[in-house]
Amino acid sequence: MPRIEGLYKHWTKGTTILGLIILSTLFLVNGKIDTINWFLWLNLGIYALHQFEEFIFPGGFKQELENRLRRPVSERAIFLINMIYVWISLPIFFLLRGISPIFPVSILFMVLINALLHISMAIRAKYYNPGLIVSVILTLPVAAYTISLFLSVMTTYGLVLSFIIGFAIHATLLIYLFVFLRKSK
């Protein structure tokens, strides 16, 4: 299926544009929506920049992942991971804020863990990995700050539960990568 294969190869071009639209919109509505919502959606725009660094410029994350896993990773797998864990999960968890702050804080912990993994990989390997720059400069401070905005409305139990959920979400991604991932075309 040539069309779907094209989607698997070029999805980051669309999400980069979507991220720029999100970031532009946020700056247009600054002061018109509440601070927490503004920062929640800022995290999604930043994640688009993170994926731009991973897959477009300078790119190379797929190759880095294949080297670490010592096996090929399909374009389809990369697409599905990023659609499910970022472009579907983040908005849903953000929108569930009205039910409980545990939802957005959990997914923000997943984002924070991902940034910390990029940083720890760079420290251990002593070289750059695609996604590192945005992780250090934007993702880590903005996700941490956004979590801090919830501290006044969450108990310690709620924060710990959010961390556990965020960790579990990221763990499912790693389990998928290391245990179940197979090259598929």
Give per-residue pLDDT as tens, 122-138.
999 999 999 999 999 99
Q: Supply the pLDDT for residue 183.
A: 45
Burial class (CB in 10 A: 0-12, 13-18, 19+), 155: exposed
Locus of tokens 């300078």:
58
C-alpha to C-alpha distance for 76 and 62, rounded to whole angstroms: 11
Residue 143 token pair: 């996700």
pTM: 0.94
C-alpha to C-alpha distance for 10 and 4, rounded to whole angstroms: 10
Locus of tokens 């991932």:
181
Q: Supply the pLDDT for residue 70.
A: 86
Q: Which residue ranges in the chain fall short of pLDDT 50?
A: 183-185
Q: Supply the pLDDT for residue 185.
A: 41
Q: Supply the pLDDT for residue 181.
A: 65
Note whether 181 and 62 are within 8 A (CB): no
C-alpha to C-alpha distance for 150 and 158, rounded to whole angstroms: 10
Residue 126 token pair: 């002593």
